[in-house]
């Protein structure tokens, strides 16, 4: 066998089972919040930002950025996110009122909500297990 014995790979990704998924469509981005379990049944979260892009040749692809969030960091992460969102609301309260900004944009641009939102097909979300 070419001088070495083939051994079983321990690197089996099947143990990373998906427990729960939440997809959030936000404009041109989609955020995936996935709860996964290790082989020891420890849970962790992956947060994936997915953006539809086009290559120079015009071929569509998804650019993805992923964060792994482990259970020992859940509270610190949630506290940090809450703090920075509160700070932005304090510094720019008008920018956080999306619904009224959206309505004024609709009125000024003479468009309707139906024109703004697009249908999301399951294939657009490109969920992989």
Domains and CATH numbers, the chain: 13-125 (3.10.450.700)
User: Per the structure block, which two tokens stand in for 63?
Assistant: 């650019």
Give me the pLDDT at residue 109, please: 45
Q: Which two tokens stand for residue 74?
A: 């859940």
Q: What is the pLDDT of residue 112?
A: 43
In this structure, the dihedral spanned by the alpha carbons of residues 99, 100, 102 and 103, taken in order and rounded to 10 degrees, is 120
Q: Where are the beta strands (DSSP E) in 1-129?
A: 17-26, 29-37, 43-54, 60-70
- Give me the pLDDT at residue 51, please: 92
Nearest to 117 by CA among 25, 53, 49: 25
C-alpha torsion sign, points 112, 115, 120, 125 = negative
pLDDT at residue number 18: 87
Per-residue pLDDT tens, the chain, 129 aa: give them.
Answer: 444 333 333 334 444 688 999 999 988 899 999 999 998 889 999 999 999 889 999 999 999 999 999 999 999 999 999 999 999 999 998 877 765 555 554 454 444 444 444 444 545 555 554
């Amino acid at each position: 066998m070419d001088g070495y014995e083939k051994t079983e790979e321990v690197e089996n990704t099947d143990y990373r089972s998906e427990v729960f998924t939440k997809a959030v469509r936000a404009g041109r981005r989609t955020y995936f919040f996935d709860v996964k379990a290790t082989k020891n049944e420890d849970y962790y979260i992956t947060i994936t930002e997915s953006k539809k892009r086009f290559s120079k040749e015009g071929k569509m692809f998804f650019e993805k950025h992923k964060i792994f969030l482990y259970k020992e960091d859940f509270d610190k992460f949630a506290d940090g996110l809450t703090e920075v969102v509160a700070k932005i609301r304090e510094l720019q309260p008008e920018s956080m009122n999306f619904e009224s900004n959206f309505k004024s944009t609709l009125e000024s641009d003479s468009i309707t909500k139906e024109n703004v939102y697009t249908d999301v097909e399951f294939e657009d979300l490109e969920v992989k297990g």
